[in-house]
Structure 1
Amino acid sequence: METAIIIPSYKPDEKCRAIIDELIASKFPHIIVVDDGGEEEFASFFEDIKAFPEVTVLHHAKNQGKGRALKTAFHYILNENVPVDGVITIDADGQHLLSDMLKIAERMKQKPDAVILGARDFSHKAVPFRSRFGNRFTRVLFRLSTGTVLTDTQTGLRGFPVQHLPLFLSIKGERFEYEMNVLGSLKANNIPIEEVEIETVYLNENKSSHFHPLRDSFHIYKIFLLYGLSGGASFALDIGLYSLFIYFWKEDAPEMFIIFATIAARVLSSLFNYFVNRHKVFGQGSSKSLIRYYVLAAFIMAVSAGSVHLLYNEWLGRGEVVLKVLVDTILFIFGFVVQRAWVFRKEE
């Protein structure tokens, strides 16, 4: 299998040059370096590496992010018909070893249709706390969001068959969130995933990373955050409508006003929640999704009431409010998983 190496590079240093030298010495025929607007002071770096026939340098006039740099390289490979069967993306900070790149290349030969991911061991003592915690947290949310179990969701060492590059060019994202979006698209498009264990290398506590925890984490986790905001807005609407109906119906139907107000408010707020989740949170769904949504809602309501009743009457005998909060928190996460996998699933 002919393989191209892609290196998105922003403000490269001697570690990036060392990687390129190793790749050239190892006879990789296609090394594509993307200059992601690293300012004038880095121009000489890119001019120097252009001298090697194996190296192609693509330029951004200004910094556009890692996701855009990867797309630029994908575009180049497809538009120029570069004679390769697959690409391996690596980081420019020296944290990916040549031996691990060769592992990825070898697995790509064995699994030519699969995306191959380099997986680090985050139990290693050398892993900085923020990286260890961030990976564990992201793994949980990624599994909830996509149903895919991965060891390392933030690895930059990845092998992609060229046949999948047109799909990856259509995926949203310009910065670090793009890599997560690509992973999230694999299961939905029936693309197999393979993981290869690689060395865990962190240089200087990973201070060279351009990953911004707050900004980039928001993009990575935003589907779950949007789901939470949708639920909160629906709850507020439910309470607001209930109060409004109570105000208008209390005098007209004194015996049934609470029941009427509760039912009307819940129906309207749930319709609001359904449409927001379908069009803004998950962005997909069929004509069957409305029926599935209300089947799930009825199930969750029954489980919530039954669980709190059982826990209160049979075991604890106190703390009914706390029990309600705990049970509904678990069901909130359960509801997210079921809505993603069943209610708003992508129809064939």
Structure 2
Amino acid sequence: MTVLLVPAYRPDGRLPALLAAVRRLDPALELLVVDDGSDPTPVFDACRSLGATVLHHGVNRGKGAALRTGLAHVALLHPDAAVVTADADGQHLATDVVRVAGSVQDGIVLGVRSFAGDDVPLRSRVGNRASALLVRAATGRALADTQTGLRGFAADLVPWLLTVRGDRFEYELRVLLEAARRGVPVEQVPIATVYLAGNSSSHFRAVRDSLRVYRPLALFLLSSLTAAAVDLVALVVLSALTGSLWLSVVGARLVSGTVNYSVNRRVVFRAGRSRRSLLGYVALAGSLLVANLALISGFTALGLGLLTAKLVTELLLVSVSFAVQRGAVFRRRRTVRTTVERAGLVTRG
């Protein structure tokens, strides 16, 4: 069984048109729409007439919150169902929705757009390219379309998806980041690139929502750069004072690690002080230190200078550090039960 989940805020006739086309192509797909605090509209009545279940938020809570509300509904009533998510603004073709649904076996399926053609807005080209580069820097994964709303998820991923934080557009990026940390496989399926009237139907606010989406990555990279600068200066000073590579690397890492932990806990991940996060960070720092020593020793043995070897090593390890800190060290634990209780599911009709 597969459920098509569509979060919708102030949708127009394109939403029931999409559902009707999907229903014709694949009558077995269950249809689920989450009204994210829209004004009263006959559009949702039209969706129900097509056999869709419609859930309602009393106020607008954001795309991420709407997706979790739908996922909580699926977890309660259809725990063995795969889920396909699609947007309500006419940017996904029914044929692509059905094809992505048919591709879900395990892990995640992304419907990826090519962003080719004169009708693709410049902000969409630039935004997706920037997002793809940041995701690759943080995870090592080359994903062609990190902003696509057409995604498929295997049934066993639904409980985990309910624990991913973010109430607005940042939720979808966080799913990809945490999927990389967990080793969840991602399949990429080409889909049509559709932009109507310059993407005017999108509720994505270019500045505010971009800041929400990229803030965790940008802050982490800035924190990492600051710590790397401290680490580099300390390494050079200690190397000159002691003449020992290993002692210099260890001492520099202790100084920079203290700075990095403090900034990441308070600013990047906004986690409270806890013994678990401290012990987790110490374990991570120890592992990265061993990797640091091994890589620097290897690179210097190959003839690289100390500074060059240090910079290359930090670039190689930054994505690992981000993924582990976000997903384990500073992770805010949330159970499926509390997520469902907070969803505030209300059905009408």
Match of 1:77 in 2: 74
Q: CA deviation at 1:122?
A: 2.0
Structure 2's unaligned 5+ residue stretches are 232-239, 243-247, 272-276, 330-349
Letter in 1 for 2:192: E
Select which of 259, 270, 282 maps to 1:273: 259
1:73 and 1:270 map into 2 onto residues whose CA distance is 43
Structure 1's unaligned 5+ residue stretches are 239-257, 311-323
2:205 and 2:295 map into 1 onto residues whose CA distance is 37
Does the 8 Å CA contact 1:35/1:57 hold for their aligned counterparts?
yes
- Return closer, same or farther for 1:303/1:59 CA change in 2, 3 Å cut-off: same
Match of 1:34 in 2: 34
Select which of 55, 58, 75 maps to 2:55: 58
Once the two structures are superposed, residues 285-317 of structure 1 have per-residue CA deviations (whole angstroms, 9 ceiling, x without a partner) of: 454333345567779999999xxx97xxxxxxx
Match of 2:91 in 1: 95
Per the normalisation by structure 2, the TM-score is 0.73
- SS in structure 2 at match of 1:43: coil
Q: CA deviation at 1:333?
A: 4.8
Letter in 1 for 2:42: S
- Return closer, same or farther for 1:133/1:199 CA change in 2, 3 Å cut-off: same
Match of 2:125 in 1: 132
Match of 1:49 in 2: 47
Q: Which moved more, 1:292-301 or 1:174-183?
A: 292-301
Q: CA deviation at 1:159?
A: 0.9
2:35 and 2:325 map into 1 onto residues whose CA distance is 43
- Return closer, same or farther for 1:184/1:266 CA change in 2, 3 Å cut-off: closer
Q: CA deviation at 1:44?
A: 2.6
- Return closer, same or farther for 1:342/1:31 CA change in 2, 3 Å cut-off: closer
Q: CA deviation at 1:277?
A: 6.0
- Return closer, same or farther for 1:278/1:296 CA change in 2, 3 Å cut-off: farther
Instruction: Report % sequence identity.
Output: 34
1:3 and 1:88 map into 2 onto residues whose CA distance is 7
Letter in 1 for 2:75: L
Q: CA deviation at 1:32?
A: 0.7
Larger relative CO (CA 8 A, sep 6+): 1 or 2?
A: 2
Query: Which of the pair has more CA radius of gyration?
Result: 1
Match of 1:208 in 2: 201
1:70 and 1:161 map into 2 onto residues whose CA distance is 15
Match of 2:286 in 1: 291
How many residues matched?
Answer: 309
Q: CA deviation at 1:25?
A: 3.0
Moved over 6 A (4+): 235-238, 265-268, 296-305, 326-332, 341-345
Equivalences for residues 1-348 of structure 1 within 5 A: 2-26=1-25, 27-39=27-39, 42-52=40-50, 54-79=51-76, 81-82=77-78, 85-108=81-104, 111=105, 113-231=106-224, 269-276=255-262, 279=265, 281=268, 285=280, 287-294=282-289, 333-334=315-316, 336-337=318-319, 339-340=321-322
- Return closer, same or farther for 1:235/1:139 CA change in 2, 3 Å cut-off: closer
Q: CA deviation at 1:136?
A: 1.0
- Return closer, same or farther for 1:330/1:88 CA change in 2, 3 Å cut-off: same
Letter in 1 for 2:284: S
Q: Which moved more, 1:170-179 or 1:82-91?
A: 82-91
Per the normalisation by structure 1, the TM-score is 0.73
- Return closer, same or farther for 1:328/1:218 CA change in 2, 3 Å cut-off: farther
Match of 1:243 in 2: none
- SS in structure 1 at match of 2:65: helix
- Return closer, same or farther for 1:189/1:267 CA change in 2, 3 Å cut-off: closer
Letter in 2 for 1:75: A
Match of 1:321 in 2: none
Letter in 1 for 2:85: T
